[in-house]
């Protein structure tokens, strides 16, 4: 299902966006060097490693440059539509 967007900052842009896929990479780092010592495969995390639970996608307004969660753009579009009626 798709939903219309409206930028919550400039409030005029409803058509131009950059969609930013969130691609989590689960890693274990060396605490001293920051070097990645292990990369986890999907679903193969160890018991102390929480999986990513953030949004799947972020959105950037291609008019004013605001970056926010997709929900913020959808909510703004719903709000604008409600006020039109």
CA atoms within 13 A on the CB side of 60: 8
Q: Cβ of residue 4: shortest distance to Zn ion, in angstroms?
A: 14
Taking CB under 5 A as the rule, does residue 72 contact Zn ion?
no
Q: Which of 13, 26, 70, 74 binds Zn ion (CB under 5 A)?
A: 13
Binding mask 17-56 for Zn ion (x = CB under 5 A): ----------------------------------------
CB 17 within 8 A of CB 76: no
Which is nearest to 26 in space by CA: 6, 8, 43, 3?
43
Instruction: Rule CB under 5 A: say whether 6 interacts with Zn ion.
Output: no
Does 60 engage in binding with Zn ion (CB under 5 A)? no
Q: Which of 3, 4, 10, 28 binds Zn ion (CB under 5 A)?
A: 10
């Amino acid at each position: 299902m798709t939903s219309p967007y409206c930028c919550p900052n400039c409030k005029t842009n409803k058509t131009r966006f950059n969609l930013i896929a969130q691609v989590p990479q689960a890693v274990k780092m060396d605490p001293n060097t920051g070097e990645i010592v292990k990369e986890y495969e999907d679903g193969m995390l160890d018991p102390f490693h929480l999986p990513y639970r953030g949004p799947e996608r972020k959105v950037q307004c291609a008019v004013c440059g605001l970056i926010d969660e997709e929900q913020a753009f959808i909510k703004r579009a719903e709000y604008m539509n409600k006020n039109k009626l």
